[in-house]
């Protein structure tokens, strides 16, 4: 039997957090001399806990419909709108055919389709509509997820609602005008807010992406931004600090001071708890622990078709002449042959796991952080196997303080975790 991984994070005197696969335990009132015994008891509990058999999941595929965009966000990771290239629907249909040919009993399984940025996906809405209709003829059902800037017309809103599309709208609250102007430089705030209102009222799965920069209107007004999102009907908010790369429009001055970001984030969670707001906060720094990969890019399971038909494992690398394209772009989709993968490149992505990252195997937070985004490590150091200094420090500053908050105010667990069970919290 493989010995389970169990890491211990001391929070304060007598309080510890035990982190293992798919499990976080809050242990209090334990003298230091009794910690080894409590640890063994936790390990025994893990060994004796029967894991449910994994459900059979259907396949998934992502499409980047276009590089075109109707916003000029100051931090765009893909420099969206720099070019207007759109994905040819023939390539998208060919990609669906390839998925069918590689899936046993496709008619009995759902297909997950993701439409993601590089530009604004709805700038090529005909492709989105048609590829989903085509996929519905090949699979038992189609589950759709879309990331959008929220500049949608009534036809597009109707499509999201009718198909119960899981939708993430990028909206930066108090900083929307400074962060996310229209091409003309005018405000996008009113249109995006109306989109959020309508989608929230429809009851579809809705996440609001709130990106934080170092601008005062963004960082210092985080609580006001949360209030604004709640007033629009938003209940699930993903809060992330911006990062800059050689491919983005962001410059280092936009990256928020790490200590101040952590302070404001903690304050925001406390604010939600103290005011009883019906809000969930998603954040890449605090997630369900796993011994697996940080994301699909690391294990090479991401299949994203770019507007030019390339297959990339990471949204941040979508053109063959970009930095790290030799690692992340591992195939091509053609009308004749569908999805064609370079198996050697695909297999090399399997190495992007925290076990192979500098310093990660010895860290007690590795099961939560997963080594962090490999691309951000690449932008920081020019090395995909060296974790981002910023992201690494963010975990080390933020997680112990969040754990303390969870000890002091257990309601914070409900703010930061979804689909969880709390037992024997003491």
Tokens of 284: 């890449």
Listed in sequence order, the DSSP H helices in 164-237 are 176-179, 189-202, 216-219, 222-231
Reported as type and span, the H/E element at residue 304 is strand 304-305
Looking at the predicted structure, is the pLDDT value of residue 425 above 50? no
The overall average pLDDT reported for the chain is 93
Q: Are 405 and 263 in contact (CB under 8 A)?
A: no
Tokens coding 290: 């796993």
Q: Which two tokens stand for residue 180?
A: 């996310």
Question: Would the pLDDT of 52 be above 70?
Answer: no
Mapped onto helix, strand or coil, the DSSP state of residue 209 is: strand
Strand partners, 146: 115, 167
Dist CA 43 CA 357 (whole Å): 26
Question: What is the pLDDT at residue 4?
Answer: 86
Which residues does residue 240 pair with via DSSP β-bridges, in sequence order?
211
Q: How far apart are the first and last CA of the chain?
A: 31
Is residue 26 within a helix (H) or strand (E), and if so which, with residue range?
strand 23-27
Task: Tell me the per-residue pLDDT of 228-247, one tens digit each, with 9 for 90 and over.
Answer: 999 999 999 999 999 888 88
- Which residue is listed with tokens 């509509």? 129
* pLDDT at position 424: 47
CB distance 315 to 305 below 8 Å: no
Tokens standing for residue 168:
């993430």
Is 70 exceeded by the pLDDT of residue 85? yes
Please state, as a whole number, how many other Cβ atoms lie within 10 Å of the Cβ of residue 70: 16
- d(CA 224, CA 10) in angstroms, rounded, equals 33
Check if the beta carbon of residue 343 is closer than 8 Å to that of residue 330.
Answer: no
Residue 11 pLDDT: 95
Instruction: Calculate the CA 149 to chain-centre distance.
Output: 16
| Domain 60-256 listed as CATH 3.60.15.10 | no
- Number of neighbours of residue 77 by Cβ within 10 angstroms: 20
> Does residue 8 register a pLDDT over 70?
yes
**Per-residue pLDDT band at 3 (split at 50, 70, 90):** confident
User: Per the structure block, which two tokens stand in for 72?
Assistant: 């000029």
pTM of the model: 0.94
What pLDDT sits at residue 423? 53
Whole-number Å distance between alpha carbons of 231 and 209: 15
> If you count them, how many residues does the chain have?
426
What pLDDT shows up at residue 299?
Answer: 79
Per-residue pLDDT tens over the stretch 153-164: 999 999 999 999
For residue range 89-135, list pLDDT tens digits in order. Answer: 999 999 999 999 999 989 999 999 999 998 999 999 999 999 999 99
How do beta strands 110-115 and 60-63 pair? parallel
* Greater pLDDT, 418 or 363: 363
366-377 residue pLDDT tens? 999 999 999 999
Residues whose CB falls within 8 Å of the CB of residue 351, separated by 6 or more in sequence, listed in order = 385
Partners of 24 in beta bridges: 19
pLDDT tens digits, 281-316:
999 999 899 999 999 888 778 899 999 999 999 999
List the beta bridge partners of residue 86: 66
Closest to 375 (Cα-Cα) out of 320, 310, 328:
328
How much of the chain, in percent, has pLDDT values that exceed 90?
Answer: 86
Instruction: Give residue 421's pLDDT band: very low, low, confident or very high (50, 70, 90).
Output: low
pLDDT, residue 287, reads 87
Tokens in use for 249?
């429009």
Residues 148 and 164: their CA atoms lie apart, in Å, by 15
Sequence-distant (≥ 6) Cβ neighbours of residue 410 within 8 angstroms: 422, 425
Residue 154: name the closest of 122, 127, 124, 186 by CA: 122
Pull the structure tokens for residue 96. 């669906």
The DSSP string of 74-123 is TT-TT-TTS---B--HHHHHHHHHHHHHTSTTGGGSEEEEEE--SS-GGG
């Amino acid at each position: 039997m493989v010995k389970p991984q169990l890491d211990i994070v001391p929070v304060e005197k007598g309080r510890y957090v035990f982190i293992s696969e798919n499990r976080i335990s809050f242990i209090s009132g334990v003298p230091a001399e009794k910690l080894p015994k409590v640890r063994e008891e936790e390990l025994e509990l893990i060994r004796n806990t029967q894991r449910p058999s994994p459900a059979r999941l259907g396949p998934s595929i992502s499409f980047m419909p276009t590089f075109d965009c109707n916003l000029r966000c100051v931090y765009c990771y893909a420099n969206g709108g720099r070019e207007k290239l759109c994905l040819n629907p023939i390539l998208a249909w060919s990609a669906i055919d390839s998925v069918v040919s590689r899936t046993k009993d496709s008619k009995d399984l759902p297909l997950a389709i993701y439409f993601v940025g590089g530009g604004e996906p709805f700038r090529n809405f005909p492709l989105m509509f048609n590829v989903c209709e085509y996929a519905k003829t090949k699979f038992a059902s189609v589950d759709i997820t879309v990331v959008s800037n929220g500049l949608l017309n009534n036809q597009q809103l109707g499509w999201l609602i009718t198909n119960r599309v899981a939708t993430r709208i990028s909206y930066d609250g108090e900083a929307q005008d400074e962060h996310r102007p229209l091409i003309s430089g005018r405000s996008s705030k009113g249109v995006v807010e109306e989109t959020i209102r309508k989608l929230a009222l429809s009851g579809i799965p809705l996440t609001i992406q709130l990106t934080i920069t170092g601008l005062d209107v963004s960082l210092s007004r985080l609580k006001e931004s949360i209030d604004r999102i709640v007033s629009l009907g938003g209940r699930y908010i993903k809060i992330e600090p911006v990062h800059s790369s050689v491919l983005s429009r962001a410059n280092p001055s936009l990256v928020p001071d790490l200590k101040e970001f952590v302070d404001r984030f903690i304050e925001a969670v406390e604010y939600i708890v103290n005011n009883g707001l019906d809000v969930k906060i998603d954040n890449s720094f605090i997630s369900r622990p796993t011994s697996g990969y940080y994301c699909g890019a690391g294990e090479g399971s991401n299949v994203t078709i770019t507007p030019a038909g390339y297959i990339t494992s990471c949204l941040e690398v979508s053109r063959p002449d970009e930095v790290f394209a030799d690692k992340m772009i591992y195939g091509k989709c053609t009308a004749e042959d569908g999805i064609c993968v370079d198996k050697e490149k695909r297999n090399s992505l399997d190495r992007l796991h925290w076990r192979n990252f500098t310093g990660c195997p010895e860290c007690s937070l590795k099961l939560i952080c997963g080594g962090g985004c490999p691309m951000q490590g690449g932008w920081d150091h020019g090395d995909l196997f060296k974790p981002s200094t910023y992201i690494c420090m963010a975990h080390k500053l933020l997680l112990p303080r969040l754990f303390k908050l969870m000890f002091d105010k257990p309601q914070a667990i409900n703010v930061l975790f979804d689909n969880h069970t709390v037992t024997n919290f003491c």
